[in-house]
Each structure stands twice: as C-alpha cells, then as structure tokens.
Chain A
Amino acid sequence: MSANKAINILIPIISVLLGLIAGAIIMLVFGYSPVEGYKALWEGAFGDIYFIGETVRQITPYILSGLAVAFAFRTGLFNIGVEGQVIVGWLAAVWIGVAFDLPMIVHLPLAIAAAALAGAFWGFIPGLLKAKLRVHEVIVTIMLNYTALYIANHIIRNVITEQKDRTESVAKSASLQAEWLTEWTQYSTMHMGIILALVAAFLMWFLLEKTTRGFELRAVGFNQHASNYAGMNVDRNIILSMVISGAFAGIAGAMEGLGTFGYMSVRSGFTNIGFDGIAVALLGGNTALGVVLAAGLFGSLKVGALNMPLAGVPTELVDIVVALIIFFVASSYMIRWLLSRFKKEGK
C-alpha cells in the first residue's frame, strides 16, 4: 500500500526531472546554455516579489481549470470542454462587472457566481446529452468549445459594446485586484483570486472524499453498473459532475475577467487555460492537492519562460520542455515499469 503511494508521488517527480533533462539536452543541441537558460527560468518565476506575483497570477486559473478536468475525470467523464467553459465564465463575469454598479460585497460575488453558473450551464449540456442519450461527452465538449468562442466574440462586439474589440474594464467593485497587493508585488498583475482557487481545491477534496454525494460520484466513476445496483441515480450524477466541473472552469474564466485583465476582448483563438488544465489534472493525478502542485509547476514554467529570452533562449523551447514533461507523465507506465525493475534488482 505505502510502497504504491510512494511510487504514485515519485512518478510525477521523475517525469518532471526527465522533462527538464530532455529540455537541457535540446538547449545544448541548439547551442544554448542550459544552465543559463534554467537560471533565467528560475529568476523569471521567483527572482523577486514582482515575478512571484506574476507566477501566482498564472497559477490561479490553472488550479481551477485543473480542478475542473480532474473532477469530471473522477466521475469517469473526460471534460475536454473546460476551455469553452472558461470562455463563457470569463464573459459572464465581465458582463456583470461592466453592466452594474453595486457595492463590492454584492457585485464581486455576483460576478463570480455568474461565471460559475455560465460554466456550469456549458457543462450541463454535454452532461445531459451523455446521461439521457449516451452521446459521448468528448465530442460534444469539443464542439461547445468553438460555440463558446464565437458566441463570446459576437456578444462582445454586438451586445456589450458597439462594434468594439474589447469590453470596458469591469467596475472596481467587481475587480479581484487589490491595491495593497499590487503595490506589495511591485505592480504585478497578481490578484485575490488565488484564495478562491485554493478554497475551490479544498472544496473539491471535501466534496469528493467526505460527503455522500462524493461517494456517489466516485462510485459512478468507477462502476456505473454497481452504482445503479446500489440505488444511486447514475444519470443524475453524470449531469451533476459535468455541472460542477463546468462551474470550476467558469470561475477560472472569472479569474482572467475580474483579476488578470479586468475586461474581455474578441479572441481569434482559444485561451488554452482549459487545455492546459487537462495536463495539470493529469500531472496532479486528479486529486485536489496534486492539481494545486501541478498548477504551481505549470504556472512557474509559463511565467519563468518569459524571462528566458534574456539568456538568449527562445520561449518556444520552454513550450517544448513543458510538452516533454507532459509526455513523460503520460508515459508513466514506462517509468512505473523502470521503477519496479529497479526495485527488483536492488533486492
């Protein structure tokens, strides 16, 4: 049991190390210094308070989108639609943020709730189709990603604004940014959303591990037949799982809309927050704590990478390193096999 647990923790760590080593080799091959490159990466992520602020800001939506993917996955569903749910969440939050002028205690929660609801609705559609008609959620969610993107663009251009490419900034009363935080981190874009993300991670853990509802969701995820036999309503749990997953994703969108940017602009492509969430969930083993740690890694890499050109290393290389890490996590079977081989020989 405990040996198994140790392996489960060891595998992502080894994956990350292998990814970093592979990245170093690639940098060497292309004539860059991996020491300088990784030093710049580290500096760029944690070099001073400003960079730390930026890193935390990047981690925030990753935690939420990772939770969204992980939550659905624990119930046996593959929510590829987190990307679309992030977009509708972002839109809903910004819309509420610009349309009203209310006291903060009402306005901010209202905007976040709107984002959660919008994401939840975007998750409800594939959940319903899966539960009632057995339509595979992967197909529906992929389609809904595009639907979300273009609907959001249309609404920004034609409904919220008059043919403009971005909305107004949200009212101060709906903003997640706090002056003291901005000043303390030397004018980084860090905002209060990180607290919300950590609370969400705790909620997911509590819901899945401690409540009867979580018991049902997990049971349905492992074995629908046995869950049905035991009197659980499988269809309702499938829908609920997608709704909760979508809500997490929607809040991830609110982090961008109310925190980082404070507005929403017409997009030509996806935000990638949702897609990166799949990798975060995978690396984090679909557990709440794992997702927080994996999001930490992804966020740090992403922000640190911006600093790498200073050492002459192109940012594309960082994307390659990240991709390699994901590759090694996905091929964890290989690492597992190597580990067990290693253990045998040691005996």
Chain B
Amino acid sequence: MDYVIEMLNIRKEFPGIVANDNITLQVKQGEIHALLGENGAGKSTLMNVLFGLYQPEKGEIRVRGEKVKITDPNVANHLGIGMVHQHFMLIDTFTVTENIVLGSEPKKLGLSIDLKKAEEDVRKISEQYGLKVDPAAKISDISVGMQQRVEILKTLYRGADILIFDEPTAVLTPQEIHELIDIMHNLVKEGKSIILITHKLKEIMEVADRCTVIRKGKGIKTVNVSETNPNELASLMVGREVSFKTEKGPAQPKETVLSIENLVVKDARKVDMVRGLNLEVKAGEIVGIAGVDGNGQTELIEAITGLRPVESGMISLKGKDITNLSPRKVTESGVGHIPQDRHKFGLVLDFPIGENMVLQTYYQEPFSRKGILNFKQIYDKAKALIDEFDVRTPSEYTKARALSGGNQQKAIIGREVDRSPDLLIAAQPTRGLDVGAIEFIHKKLIEERDKGRAVLLLSFELDEIMNVSDRIAVMYEGEIVATVKPEDTTEEELGLLMAGSKKQKVGES
C-alpha cells in the first residue's frame, strides 16, 4: 500500500451543519497533496480530524496502511503527523531554539535544559532541509517568513514525516512564497509527505502533485495537477465557471478627488516611512499601489484616514484640506476605508454583525436619536446590507467572530461602499479569501468606479493590481517611483520597479 494517509468516508457534524460529508482523502508517500476548497468548505475541519482535534462521526483513518484512532494531537504526533498552523503558535520572547524544543526539551541530568544540544539539533535539522534560521534569534526579532520556518522545524524536530500546511502563504510576501515552495520541494526530496491546504490555484499548479477538491463539505474530485488547469480547478471548487480576468470597461476619469502633496509620515519608531510622496486619484478610476510590503504603504493609508499623524505635506479631498483630521472627520468628509487587517481594525468581533454595520454611523439618524440607539433601524439596515452583499450569516444578530473571513470582508465592504464615499480606500481587500469572494469584491470595486467614485487600491498581489487598476503607482521607500498603465507594463517590469530600479523606462500616464 503506497498511501501514507487514508481518510475514508469521513463525516463530521456540528450542531446544524455537516462540515464533512463522506469525504475521502488519500495521500501517497512522498507527494505534495493539495486540499482545495472555498472558505468554509470543510478543509480545516477535515485536517482537524486528522490531527485529532475533532472526532469524526463516521469513517476511518489509516496511517501507512494501518487503521488508527486519533483521539488527540499527541496521538497524531506519535504517528508522525505534524501541523504547520496558519496562525503561528510561538512565544515571542523565546528564542527560535526554545520555541522548537518547547515541550520536548533535551535535559541535562534530567534537570536543566541542555540548550547547547538543543541548538545543535535545531541547526542540524535546519541544514538538512535547507531551512535557514538563526537558532539563537528571538521570535519577536525575525520576519513572518522566518517564524513560519520555525513552525516547520517544530514539527520536524518532533519527528513528523507527514506535514500539514494550513494556508501557509496567506501571510507571506511573494519572495517568501518562493522560498517556501523550495522548502516544500526539499522536504519531499527528504522523504516527507505534505498536505497543503489552500485556495490559491497558482500555488497548487506550481507545487502540488495531486489535488483533492472539496466543496460545501463534500469531496468533489481528486485530480493529477499535471492533467488539469486553473480554470478547471476553480470551477470544481466553486461549482460554476469563474472568470479570472475581471470584466471591466475603460475608465472614465473625471475631476481629482484625492490629491497628496509632499507627504511625510513617520512610523511608531519615528522613522520616515512616507518621504515626500505625491499622488492623485480621480473620480471614476482605480489607482493601484504596488510595492513590496514595508515601503510605507500602510503608513500612507493610515495618514489619509487620520489614524496616523502627518509630519508635513498636504492631503486634500475634492479640494478640501483633510490633513491631520481625526478619523471621524475624515470619514464624514467622504472617505470609505476597507482596512488591511479586518480583525484588528475592521470589526468589533464580539459585536453582532448587525451592530458592526453601523460602526461609523451609529451616532447619526436614523440609527440613533438624541443619544439613544434605535436597534430596529440598525438591524433593518444591517439586514438590507447583508442581503445586498451576500454576507452568509445565520442572522444579523450573530457575532462577527462566527463568520468566515470572506463573509466578514463582504460585510465590511458593504458597510464602506454603502456610505457612498467619494473616495474608497481598499487595503488588501482580498487577502486570505477564495476565488469566489475575490471575484465578488473586484466586481464591487469596479462598480464603485463606474459610479464615479475614486478608488485607491493597495495590494501586495501583482495579479490583483494588474487586473483591477486603471493606473498603477509603484511605491518604493516611501515614494511613488513610477506610475504606469496596466496595459503598458508587465509583471516583470513592475517587479523591477518595486525593487527600486528607477532606470526602467516608464510610461507616464
């Protein structure tokens, strides 16, 4: 039997829903097997069953041909199954080595931790698999990509040879993704098997050998990646045809809505992150900001929306100076903002989704009068927005926390678009979402443009920038180094501009 993992006819129910309905997943020794599905399709549930966090109602699990019962994660560990979580489980103030050995530390005389041996072990494993990490560095001092390597090392240190990667690229930059793909290939070369949970088709095409698609809790099909294409995968996943090229007519830019002159913004450490930036966004166009993360994009958006003080320079909206206004004043002047981090900024997760829909407008009529909230109006409004923007939630009284990422994002977009702002800022609006939701969000952004609104899009995904923008402003070290039209450029050229090579000939718009 050459299957290393077999999950046969797994069924897992939760009150009210069947999360996994008769799913079968068979992983061969030494392959990278992708598990593809939309958010909420049941991928994580299936993996949690394999990892022993949930017990299935029906079905059986075989590991290396032997029938097993995985009652908790320790059993999974003993069977050589390791999980690299999407949200890292690391202690910030510990070193890399300390995090890796945590829970199974090598001991000196059975008492103190033998850190020297631990560091040596970590170094050996990391060299074996080509995972470059400094074993003595503190977690808080290393990049997200490095932290992920520590997570991988943790599973390897515990002797895992079946690794589950839960959406590993969601938090990585394009360069880090390339490095991760190399690491995965190395792992397979060393005899490991990998299950890759993802909804990014490009990655599957690039690394996976086979792919199992699940949709709404059901196993749809397992395909050989070499015999398929992204379009087929996408329609298997969503259950209908999906267009990748976003349909849109040419932009019809009108008057200038947002104008930024010589903007300087510092970050929390008082370092200049935006350095004399100039930018214009007109009504009826989408301007995409391309750039490698950390070149001042976040600070730029926070400055426009009033969340971060402006050192010098001017931001004006339809000719009105909005520099250094409070977030509320900025909102009231007509700026909608889909924030980068929807959990931290976009929503109060412990509020019902309905109350989140009026997060900026609760103090206005009809949602309140003389300081007293009118819940009927609030929830009527929320219900209308939930219907209009296809937010899938049991009810408008459900806590925002209980919704899937895609639906949370749709709710935020509904709220921001509905306030009919002159300027809509969308910061990484599709991060972590599946194709269906991405398509929907792109369509909405273009609809807003066509209604004559100015849209400023920030994204680290070049595909998205190329697809959706009418103009692309490349940001490098706090400045816009070039402005190009998507039809006049290529991803390669953008990549070079983002890396700071100003020599490239640039088509001015």
Residues of A participating in the B interface, judged by any CB pair closer than 8 Å: 1, 210-215, 218-219, 222-223, 225-233
Contact = CB atoms under 8 A, between A and B. Distances in A.
Interface of B: 305, 307, 326-332, 337, 339, 344-351, 355, 359-360, 362-363, 368, 371-373, 397
Nearest to B328: A231
Contact of A212 (B307, B339, B350, B371): B371
B213 to A, nearest CB: 32
Nearest to A209: B373
Contacts of A231: 326-332, 360
A212 B362 CA distance: 7
Contacts of A232: 328
A210 B348 contact: no
B155 to A, nearest CB: 27
A219 B352 CA distance: 11
Given A215-B355, A222-B351, A228-B307, A210 B345 contact: no
Contact of A226 (B332, B359, B372): B359
Contact of B345 (A211, A218, A219, A229): A229
9 contacts: A212-B373, A222-B349, A223-B349, A225-B344, A225-B345, A226-B345, A228-B307, A231-B330, A233-B328
Contacts of B307: 228-229
A226 B373 contact: no
A226 B347 CA distance: 6
Contacts of B339: 229
A215 B329 CA distance: 19
A277 to B, nearest CB: 24
Contacts of A211: 368, 371-373
A232 B361 CA distance: 11
8 closest cross-chain pairs (CB), A and B: A231-B328, A230-B359, A229-B345, A222-B350, A231-B327, A223-B348, A212-B363, A225-B344
Given A210-B373, A219-B359, A226-B346, 17 more contacts: A211-B371, A211-B372, A212-B373, A214-B373, A215-B355, A215-B362, A215-B373, A219-B348, A223-B348, A225-B344, A226-B344, A226-B345, A226-B348, A229-B345, A231-B326, A231-B328, A231-B330
A203 B129 CA distance: 63
Contacts of A222: 348-351
A161 to B, nearest CB: 44
A212 B349 contact: no
Contacts of A228: 307, 327
Give the interface centre of A223, A232, A233 by most chain B CB atoms within 10 Å.
Answer: A223
Contacts of B328: 231-233
A218 B307 CA distance: 20
Contacts of B332: 231
A227 B326 CA distance: 12
A13 B410 CA distance: 40
A211 B368 CA distance: 8
Give the interface centre of A219, A227, A231, A232 by most chain B CB atoms within 10 Å.
Answer: A231
Contacts of B355: 215
B373 A230 contact: no
A203 B94 CA distance: 47
A229 B415 CA distance: 13
Contact of B337 (A212, A213, A229): A229
Contacts of A230: 327, 331, 359-360
Contacts of A213: 371
Nearest to A214: B373
A54 to B, nearest CB: 39
A182 B311 CA distance: 67
Contacts of B305: 229
Contacts of B347: 223, 226
Contacts of A218: 351
Contacts of A1: 397
Contacts of A227: 348
A230 B373 CA distance: 17
A232 B362 CA distance: 11
A300 B397 CA distance: 37
A342 to B, nearest CB: 16
A226 to B, nearest CB: 5
Contacts of A229: 305, 307, 327, 337, 339, 345-346
Contacts of B349: 222-223
A150 to B, nearest CB: 38
Nearest to B327: A231
A215 B362 CA distance: 8
Contacts of B359: 219, 226, 230
A53 to B, nearest CB: 37
B53 to A, nearest CB: 15
A214 B368 CA distance: 12
Give the interface centre of A210, A215, A223, A229 by most chain B CB atoms within 10 Å.
Answer: A229
A128 B184 CA distance: 52
A225 B349 CA distance: 12
B373 A219 contact: no
A227 B331 CA distance: 13
Contact of A219 (B327, B329, B351, B371): B351
B326 A210 contact: no
A225 B337 CA distance: 14
A228 B346 CA distance: 10
A222 B348 CA distance: 7
A213 B362 CA distance: 10
Contacts of A212: 362-363, 368, 371-373
A214 to B, nearest CB: 8
Contacts of A223: 344, 347-350
A241 to B, nearest CB: 16
Nearest to A3: B15
Contacts of B329: 231
A232 B371 CA distance: 14
A223 B372 CA distance: 22
A59 B207 CA distance: 67
